[in-house]
Structure 1
Amino acid sequence: MTTNNHEDLANARDSQNIDFSMVLASAVHDMKNSLGMLLNSLDELRQEQSATIGDSPRFNTLQYEAERMHNDLVQLLGIYRLGENNLSAHVEEHFVPDFLARQMARHTPLLEGLGIELAIESDDINGFFDEDLLTGVLNNTINNAIRYTESKIKLTASMHDGFLVIGVKDDGDGYPENMQHNGTPSFKSLDFNSGSTSLGLFFASSVAQLHINGERHGFIKLHNDRHLGGGVFEIWLP
């Protein structure tokens, strides 16, 4: 085979090289959009057939698992963009009680079907954050709280030491001691061979760190609540 033939084969292989991570990201994006449409249809179906499926355990499980998968895909896309260095926080001013009310409204149909109370306890404050990124964090955190709570979830917001602190509390068994000390995992700490990858915590921590004010970066905290008795997730934004 001549040198030119070798070069032609090499060029052909190069032209067929596929950026598999880009292919996966595109597929994940399409799946995320499809699941979003499915969730909207489930909400509409619950409203139309409230008398027959409002308290159906199977329907509630279907909606919960669809929401969980949608959140996972949102996080995967965010982490992919983070790895490609094109994920940034577009910070704008928001009235925090209204923002939390929108988060509550999204989850209200499922929570009512499950018999879980969702309350808001927020000061009348404005905050500066990326609404889409923070919505992704709270959707996952609320969904996780639904899994572990007994009967109540509370969204909270206040100012502490110049940080906007938004929290999600539940009345479940709370976080184990090791998670309270390791609430901000690195990507290398994610274990995809176990049942829990902490992907949501890594995503939440990454979103928090994208929020910067001067030399201060956002961060997350995990601890247990002495009033409700369950776990508390907090994201601190400067």
Structure 2
Amino acid sequence: MKNSLGMLLNTLAAMVESSPPKDAEQAKFFSTLEYEAARINGELVQLLSLYRMDERTLVVVIDEHHVIDIIEEQIARNDTLLRSRNINIRLDCDTDLGWYFDNELIGGVLNNLIVNCARYCRNQLLVSVTEENGFLCIAVADDGQGYPESMLLGPLPQTTVSFSSGNTRLGLLFARKVLGLHKSKKGQGYMTIANNGPLGGGVLKLYLP
């Protein structure tokens, strides 16, 4: 199933590249297809990872990586989606900055953030990387309307599930679990959510020790 969804995403990207939308309506249609396919693929990966965490079979590989590489990889992965929605994404990160983390898991968290922000922003995204009190901070900010009040619950938001509305907040649960797997003498990873970010909308920050 996961491989089939991956093939679908690649086919959609190739289709848009070879046959650009002829009008705004078709562009919106392509954008919706791209977003929904990416979202389903991301949620499937998250569910599999969460299951493996519960079964204690998930292999976590902490190694040193160039931070900018993993972010650029996720941006490139969603290039078709971002272009179809006319979203400009900026990256502010020291090209030489390295950090220790699981590349696949953190990449999955970042991919989910970019896909979701692409849905709720107007046309601007900003990914910025800093060091704060010995932690790596990756912040994803948008120019949308901001996060709902129920999500602004401090460093470890408690998620609620609403199957009737489709709002399971699976991405938040996945991000929190992944960050919690990253530990050192400084502490463990965590996240914060706030509004009135640098682009006027929401900003979600990932902290890695």
TM norm structure 2: 0.91
Number of residue pairs matched?
Answer: 207
Task: Write the letter of the residue equivalent to 2:149.
Answer: E
Distance (whole Å) between structure 1 residues aligned to residue 155 and residue 34 of structure 2: 28
Task: Check the 8 A contact 2:181/2:188 in 1, yes or no.
Answer: yes
In structure 2, list runs of 5 or more residues that go unmatched.
none
Distance (whole Å) between structure 2 residues aligned to residue 197 and residue 165 of structure 1: 25
**RMSD of the TM alignment (CA)?**
2.0
Give 4+ residue runs of structure 1 displaced > 2 Å after superposition.
50-55, 182-187, 189-195
Q: Which residues in structure 2 correspond to 1:1-238 (within 5 Å)?
A: 31-50=1-20, 52=22, 56-124=27-95, 125-181=97-153, 184-186=156-158, 189-214=160-185, 216-238=187-209
In structure 1, list runs of 5 or more residues that go unmatched.
1-30
- Percent identity over the alignment is 41
Distance (whole Å) between structure 2 residues aligned to residue 128 and residue 148 of structure 1: 30
Greater per-residue helix proportion: 1
Task: Write the letter of the residue equivalent to 2:152.
Answer: Q
Distance (whole Å) between structure 1 residues aligned to residue 201 and residue 186 of structure 2: 33
In the TM superposition, what is the alpha-carbon distance from 1:64 to its structure 2 partner?
Answer: 0.7
CA-to-aligned-CA distance 1:41-92 (integer Å, 9 cap, x gap) = 1111122113648962111111110001001101111111111012242111
Task: Check the 8 A contact 1:89/1:130 in 2, yes or no.
Answer: yes
In the TM superposition, what is the alpha-carbon distance from 1:211 to its structure 2 partner?
Answer: 0.5
Helix, strand or coil at the partner of 1:75 = helix
Distance (whole Å) between structure 2 residues aligned to residue 51 and residue 32 of structure 1: 27
Task: Check the 8 A contact 1:166/1:236 in 2, yes or no.
Answer: yes
More moved, 72-81 vs 194-203: 194-203
Helix, strand or coil at the partner of 2:78 = helix
Task: Check the 8 A contact 2:134/2:186 in 1, yes or no.
Answer: no
Distance (whole Å) between structure 2 residues aligned to residue 203 and residue 220 of structure 1: 11
TM norm structure 1: 0.80
Task: Write the letter of the residue equivalent to 2:99.
Answer: G
CA 236–88 in structure 1, closer or farther in 2 if over 3 Å, else same: farther
Structure of larger gyration radius: 1
Task: Write the letter of the residue equivalent to 1:62.
Answer: L
CA 183–33 in structure 1, closer or farther in 2 if over 3 Å, else same: farther
CA-to-aligned-CA distance 1:172-214 (integer Å, 9 cap, x gap) = 0111233111563457x43434431111101000000001112
Helix, strand or coil at the partner of 2:146 = coil
Higher relative contact order (CA 8 A, sep 6+): 2
CA 150–69 in structure 1, closer or farther in 2 if over 3 Å, else same: same
Task: Check the 8 A contact 1:88/1:210 in 2, yes or no.
Answer: no
